[in-house]
Chain A
Amino acid sequence: MIDALWGWPPPVLDPAGPYSGKVTTLAWSLFGLGAFVTLVVVFALWVAIKGPDKWKAKLGGERAILLGGVAFPGVVLTALLVWGLTLTASLTEPIHGDEMRIRVTGEMWWFRVQYLDPSGAVVMEDANEIHIPVGRPVVLELESADVIHSFWVPHLSGKKDMIPGRRTLLRIEADRPGEFGGVCAEYCGRQHALMGFVAVAHEDDDFREWYAERNERLVSAGLDITRQVESSSGSGTQGSERSTVTRTGAGANTNSGQQSGRTLFMQSGCAACHRVAGTEANGLAGPDLTHVGSRRTLGAGILPNNRGTLIGWIGDSQSLKPGNRMPSYDMLNADELEAIAIWLEQQK
């Protein structure tokens, strides 16, 4: 799935925003300078071995050493260092305007995604998918829940480590709409290679619509988006009990699997690790499933998302991503797995 999003040209050479553009320019400049210096050195080598005596003498002279061996590298390397450091710093500048804020937490082996309001309160939670508007810088607050991970969407910005106990910042911005693959870029354990995500950049209007849709769903479930999120971090009961009532009716228009899918989800222990806003499912250990039905991928960017892959993941996640922290629910039968999958499909 991630491969499909990367394609050709390689995303590092195909910037889709100003921050990644700057990184690519620096990379090409380094490459160009490197090539130039290599040519000069090869030429000097030729002079030293087979060149005319007059040139040899010049090459061995003090002037050549001072100019080519001290002045040139001194100036060029210093300039590059300043360029590189200022560029890196510009990627990690804190908020100074109305930038959007998103907190992304690396967990073994997936990405927790929390949309923040300007005051820093969580307004919406999701996983392994980051939606941003085109043409607006977004400041990511990167954290880790366990080991060091690294956040990297080559189309949109540079890499930034996610370090336990610390908050790092990274700016991303897209200047065209599209889906951009991202990965964990720091070895973080057995399933490091299967830890990815998708960044989706929307035109401004689409983004507003997307946001409003999600919001509306929560509101129709009797939830004030902000209050719900607060309650999930504090005393969760009062908020969720109220919403349980509203939610039962909300999507109950499919087949008979519907009612039991929801019940099975709650009874089989899924709710202990997963949260579905507006239901009693309020687990925080695993990815938030409130919007799982609208996601493009499952299992942290690795599988397409459809009923079949949902069933496969729930029933057999240990074959698909061995060692991941979700057990295979192979104690459920096919009908039960399907019922849960159908219910999850509706959690847009």
Chain B
Amino acid sequence: MGMGSVEHRNWKAIVAGVALAACAALAACKDPVETRREPAIGPKDRGLIAIKRAGCGSCHEIPGLDWPSGRLGPSLDGFDDVGLIAGQLPNRPDVLAAFIRNAPSVKEGSSMPPMPISEAEAADIAAYLYGLDHD
């Protein structure tokens, strides 16, 4: 009699365990990768992606980018607090975007070379740089 009830409880425990494992397995089976939706990303995230793709870090230290951290150009840390862009241009998003794409065209003789990025990418990068608020 006693024996029987102990075994009974054992089987219950096993059924519970199997059910638990099945739940865990189900939870692990997310949608296939292609059908999962990308989390919505804003201009700032796109800006950082564009920065990485273009390799701006090969001349600039850029917050949010661990590597590379070149020192040929000025650090872009705290860029929102910079007065004039490259010491000369008004610090406005449109000017910044234009400067990032083709510095010599907006600042005569600038030593930053034109970079291979689209206008949209430049705008995103500007949004990213302005978003680095340390105040």
Which A residues lie at the B interface, using CB under 8 A? 4, 8-9, 50, 52, 302-304, 306-309, 311-313, 315-316, 319-320, 330, 334-335, 338, 341
In the complex, the answer to whether A304 meets B55 with C-beta atoms within 8 Å is yes
In the complex, the answer to whether B55 meets A309 with C-beta atoms within 8 Å is yes
Question: Number of B interface residues, CB 8 Å?
Answer: 21
Chain B residues touching A, majority SS: loop
In the complex, the answer to whether A341 meets B70 with C-beta atoms within 8 Å is no
In the complex, the answer to whether A308 meets B111 with C-beta atoms within 8 Å is no
Contacts A319-B69, A319-B71 known; A341 to B113 CB distance under 8 Å? yes
Distance, CA A311 to CA B70, complexed state (A)? 11
Distance, CA A334 to CA B68, complexed state (A)? 20
In the complex, the answer to whether B59 meets A311 with C-beta atoms within 8 Å is yes
Distance, CA A138 to CA B114, complexed state (A)? 39
**A305: nearest chain-B partner, CB-CB:** B55
In the complex, the answer to whether B10 meets A306 with C-beta atoms within 8 Å is no
Question: How distant is B125 from chain A, measured CB to nearest CB, in Å?
Answer: 13
The verdict on B56 contacting chain A, using a C-beta distance below 8 Å, is yes
Contact string, B52-77, partner A, CB cutoff 8 A, digits 1/0?
11111011000000001111100000
In the complex, the answer to whether B33 meets A320 with C-beta atoms within 8 Å is no
In the complex, the answer to whether A306 meets B68 with C-beta atoms within 8 Å is no
Which of A312, A315, A319, A341 meets B55, CB within 8 Å? A312
List the 10 shortest-distance A-B pairs measured between CB atoms, nearest first: A312-B58, A334-B111, A309-B55, A312-B59, A304-B55, A309-B58, A316-B72, A320-B68, A307-B113, A312-B70
The verdict on B90 contacting chain A, using a C-beta distance below 8 Å, is no
Which of B70, B111, B115, B116 meets A319, CB within 8 Å? B70
Contacts A308-B115, A312-B70 known; A9 to B33 CB distance under 8 Å? yes
In the complex, the answer to whether B59 meets A306 with C-beta atoms within 8 Å is no
Question: How distant is A49 from chain B, measured CB to nearest CB, in Å?
Answer: 10
Chain A residues touching B, majority SS: helix
List B108-129 residues whose CB lies under 8 Å from chain A.
Answer: 111-116
Task: Report chain B residues within 8 Å CB of A316.
Answer: 58-59, 70-72
Contacts A8-B33, A50-B10, A341-B113 known; A308 to B71 CB distance under 8 Å? no
Which B residues lie at the A interface, using CB under 8 A? 7, 10, 33, 52-56, 58-59, 68-72, 111-116
- Known A303-B68, A306-B54, A311-B113; further 8 A-B contacts with Cβ < 8 A: A50-B10, A302-B68, A303-B58, A308-B55, A315-B72, A319-B70, A334-B111, A338-B113
Question: How distant is A182 from chain B, measured CB to nearest CB, in Å?
Answer: 19
In the complex, the answer to whether A303 meets B55 with C-beta atoms within 8 Å is yes
**B60: nearest chain-A partner, CB-CB:** A312
**B6: nearest chain-A partner, CB-CB:** A50
Task: Report chain A residues within 8 Å CB of B33.
Answer: 8-9
In the complex, the answer to whether A308 meets B59 with C-beta atoms within 8 Å is yes
Contacts A312-B58, A320-B58 known; A306 to B116 CB distance under 8 Å? yes
Could you list 28 A-B pairs, sorted by A, with CB under 8 Å? A8-B33, A9-B33, A52-B7, A304-B54, A306-B115, A306-B116, A307-B113, A308-B54, A308-B56, A308-B58, A308-B113, A308-B115, A308-B116, A311-B59, A311-B72, A312-B59, A312-B70, A312-B72, A316-B58, A316-B59, A316-B70, A319-B68, A319-B70, A319-B72, A320-B70, A330-B72, A334-B111, A338-B113
**B14: nearest chain-A partner, CB-CB:** A46
Task: Report chain B residues within 8 Å CB of A4.
Answer: 52-53
**B68: nearest chain-A partner, CB-CB:** A320
Task: Report chain B residues within 8 Å CB of A312.
Answer: 55, 58-59, 68, 70, 72
Distance, CA A309 to CA B55, complexed state (A)? 6
Question: How distant is B118 from chain A, measured CB to nearest CB, in Å?
Answer: 13
Distance, CA A66 to CA B40, complexed state (A)? 59
Question: How distant is B21 from chain A, measured CB to nearest CB, in Å?
Answer: 11
**B110: nearest chain-A partner, CB-CB:** A334
Question: How distant is A307 from chain B, measured CB to nearest CB, in Å?
Answer: 5
Task: Report chain A residues within 8 Å CB of B59.
Answer: 308, 311-312, 316
In the complex, the answer to whether B53 meets A304 with C-beta atoms within 8 Å is yes
Task: Report chain A residues within 8 Å CB of B115.
Answer: 306-308
Task: Report chain B residues within 8 Å CB of A50.
Answer: 10
Task: Report chain A residues within 8 Å CB of B71.
Answer: 316, 319
**Which residue, of B55, B68, B69, B71, has the highest number of chain A Cβ atoms within 10 A?**
B55
Distance, CA A320 to CA B62, complexed state (A)? 13
Question: How distant is B75 from chain A, measured CB to nearest CB, in Å?
Answer: 12
